[in-house]
Structure 1
Amino acid sequence: MVVYCLLTEAAAVTLTLRPFPIAVDRRTVLILLVLLLLGVAQSEAGRRVERIRRRVSGSPHINMTSVWTFAGVLVLPPPLLAVLVGGLYGHLAIRSWYRLQRVPASRTVSNAAIILLSCYAAQAVMRVSGSPDVRSAFPRGWAGTFAIAAAGVTFFVVNALLVLPARREIGRTPEALFGTWSDNGLEVATLCLGALNAVALAVLPGLVVLVLPPLLLLHRTVLVKQLEVAAHRDAKTGLYNTSGWHSLAERTLAAAARQRSTFGLLMLDLDHFKQVNDTYGHLAGDAVLRAVAEAIIAAVRGRGDAVGRFGGEEFVVLLPGIAHPDIGAVAERIRRAVAALKVPAGTLSITGLSTSIGMAVYPTAGTSLQRLLDAADTALYHAKATGRNKVVHVADLG
């Protein structure tokens, strides 16, 4: 990771220092100052919201600097674009990130370098398209519009890919890797606002201040959404908590009753988990819980399935639209995934984990959620009582 960060930083410096056949006039410097001042003003006005968002977010954090940096892509030459990115990220590091979690300077430099490389990639697309900046795109009509859109897509994709190797922990699910749909929707929204900023700067520069009120409102709206999600999530694993999972399961039950369809329910319990805590400590035990949560998510079928933590070492999985033969395959896949885990614990690795799983299917095992949970729990108890590390279907108990 360190080598990768150094390489990206070296690439950003090299591209910034190379000669560019673009004159820097007073108007361009003024545009730089306007973007920098507005970016700092927005950061200061939303600093408290930003801190809360970072605390409650369980996925990669999406900030709102793209409103200013992407505008810089469209109106500034590369050297001034580097000044803009450096200024914005330096301010964030001093006023927000350092106070929040003591982010080291090296992390800030790496983040800024990755953003700058994304900006340069977007500018390269603009030059290849024949419109090096937003002003030259105006006479080209739709061709100029598509060039700006292509630059935005390039910024989005390059940034998402460059960030991955620089992260300390890389998740195993698409959400852990790239963020949620709402996170990425926020990034798209900021890129769109950045494009509008650039147009305003090229035509009527004074209009650029009008982006601040909707941007701050968007900031708070995203926070409300994150708080709603956090209220239904387990803080330790990021899975649904008991309340969130029950709410989703009740909706699934009502839909299955209306449509006369089926759904499956799995209850899982880690075998001998107390020994993990006693041997390696509770922090290692928490790491095991997170690893098991990721293994379960990776083993289920996809977005429609819901995984929850019921406290301790017990998990529950909701599988909409599944029948008896298929539920067993999913459960076995989860059991094997847990058994294959190697969880780092200091200089050691925790291996030999296993889980006992009980299965139940609606409506065969019950027509209410509590009956289904009781049935799955009965099957789970039988799995633990007959040797552990196995899957038992309640229908097999007679």
Structure 2
Amino acid sequence: MTVHHLGLFVLLAALSVTYSLTARHLERLRRGLTEGKVHNLLDVWTMAGALLLPGVLVVPLVLISYGAEWPSRKYVNGGRPVRYVISVLIVAAAAWVATAVRQNVTGVLGIAAAVLCWTAINSVLIAALVWRFDDRSLVRQLLGLPNQVADTLTKVTGVALALLVGWHPLSGVVVLPLVLAGHRLALRYSIRTTSAYDTTARMWSEAGWRVRATESIATAPGCVALVLIDPEQAHSEVAIAECLLGVLRPSDPVGRYGTRQVAALVQVDMEAVGIIVTERVRGRLDRAGIACVVGVSISVGEGLGELLIRAGSDLMARRQSAGISARW
């Protein structure tokens, strides 16, 4: 291990951490929509490390990369920390073996052998654990062509990064925006395949809205107001969305909820502002001639589940006081 190796280690670790922090919002949404069943892009940095660094530095690089990704990973089902730790250890072992292969086999053959060894070790061990402790049908997905293609492309990008950094260390920085662009494309693919966003109604599906709303609650500097709209007639989402455009910010998540309801979550400075926003929503809907009842829940520190329960209770109470059937 030399000072040059330490410099490369710091560079790759910095790129990996920067990537995870920058892409955290994209990654949370992508994992939330797919229930976490997506391939990550961390092998770009760890594969490059396996080709450039000695084994004693590759394992810490893997740990740093996956540690920086954990806040995004734990967003779905709590991240399943035990499984995550096991996965990280398997990746570290695969990276260490790939490094040993690369150090003993030179040239293009050594690079190819390192990639193949890494892929084989990682796939076999993960598949064995899934077969033993999880849903065995996932093994086919894990070893399927789409997943293998995504895994290979990520590692090929890591090889390209290693070649760039080998030519000039600072040139590796140009890969960061390319990986982030690839991540955004992957998110768009997930949104399309899960039908998470309706461009006509400009609304998220309920699953997509829940992910966006949960993150909005987590990042809110103050209160949040959850507005729940229950129209008397179904299929009026487009008209409701038009009304909300004049009141809410583009960043405020709006989506379908339940059978016909529309939900919106708004970050506000204080409870009074949330009440004002809700009244503006009611006014816009009334002027548009949309017969509906609007419930609201305003608080700070509560989770999405609690907000939905309180907003639903407020909506039901308003329906009853208006003499409207309480049945949804």
* TM-score when normalising by structure 1: 0.46
1:359-378 per-residue CA deviation (whole Å, 9 max, x = no partner) reads xxxxxxxxxxxxxxxxxxxx
Cα shift at 1:38? 0.3
Matched AA of 2:64: G
Note if contact 1:69-1:85 (Cα within 8 Å) is conserved in structure 2: yes
1:182-237 per-residue CA deviation (whole Å, 9 max, x = no partner) reads 333222111111111111222211110010111111111112122222229xxxxx
Aligned to 2:78: 102
Deviations 1:320-363 (A, max 9, x none): xxxxxxxxxxxxxxxxxxxxxxxxxxxxxxxxxxxxxxxxxxxx
1:38 and 2:15 are equivalent in the alignment: yes
Deviation readout 1:128-157 (Å, 9 max, x if unpaired): 42x2xxxxxxxxxxxx11220221122122
Instruction: Tell me the secondary structure at the aligned position of residue 194 of structure 2.
Output: helix
Inter-partner Cα distance in structure 1 for 2:139 and 2:61: 31
1:58 is displaced (CA, Å) by: 5.9
Supply the distance in 2 between the matched residues of 1:124 and 1:215 (Cα, whole angstroms). 26
Structure 1 segment 319-398 matched on structure 2, within 5 A: none
Kindly indicate whether the alpha-carbon contact (under 8 Å) linking 2:47 and 2:159 is maintained by their aligned counterparts in 1: yes
User: Which residue, out of 97, 112, 119, partners 2:95?
Assistant: 119
Tell me the amino acid that sits aligned with residue 154 of structure 1.
C
**Structure 2: tracts of 5 or more residues without a match:** 197-328
SS for the counterpart of 1:28 is helix
Give the whole-Å Cα distance in 1 for the aligned partners of 2:121 and 2:57: 20
- Give the structure 1 partner of residue 31 of structure 2: 54
TM-score by length of 2: 0.55
Question: Quick one: structure 1 residues 54 and 173, their matched pair in 2 at CA, closer, same or farther if it must change by over 3 Å?
Answer: closer
1:72 equivalenced with 2:72 (yes/no): no
**Counterparts of 2:149 and 2:23, CA distance in 1:** 19
Contact 2:164 2:172 in 1 (8 A): yes
SS for the counterpart of 1:81 is helix
Structure 1: stretches of 5+ with no match in the other structure: 1-23, 132-143, 233-398
**Alpha carbons 1:125, 1:147 under 8 Å: kept:** yes
**Runs (4+) of structure 1 moved beyond 6 Å?**
none
Instruction: Name the count of aligned residue pairs.
Output: 194
Q: Which amino acid aligns with 1:230?
A: T
Displacement after TM superposition at 1:67 (Å): 0.3
| Aligned counterpart, 1:87 | 64
Is 1:157 matched up with 2:133? no
CA distance in structure 2 between the partners assigned to 1:45 and 1:160 by the alignment = 28
Query: Contact (CA 8 Å) 1:40, 1:91: kept in 2 or not?
Result: yes
1:276 aligns with none
How far residue 173 of structure 1 moved from its aligned partner, in angstroms, is: 6.4
Q: Read off the aligned partner of 2:26 and give its amino acid letter.
A: V
Distance 1:175 1:81 in 2: 30
Structure-to-structure mapping, 1:131-280, within 5 angstroms: 131=106, 144-167=107-130, 168-172=133-137, 175-179=140-144, 181-231=145-195
Distance 1:105 1:64 in 2: 19
- Map 1:290-301 onto structure 2 (within 5 A): none
Q: Distance in 1 between matches of 2:7 and 2:138?
A: 44
Structure possessing the higher radius of gyration over alpha carbons: 1
Alpha-carbon distance in structure 1 between the residues aligned to 2:125 and 2:39:
14
Which amino acid is 2:46 matched to? T
Relative to structure 1, is the Cα distance of residues 157 and 206 closer, same or farther in structure 2, using a 3 angstrom cutoff? same
- SS of the residue 2:160 aligns to: helix
- C-alpha displacement of 1:125: 2.6
| Counterpart residue identity of residue 39, structure 2 | I
CA-CA distance at 1:119 after TM superposition = 0.9
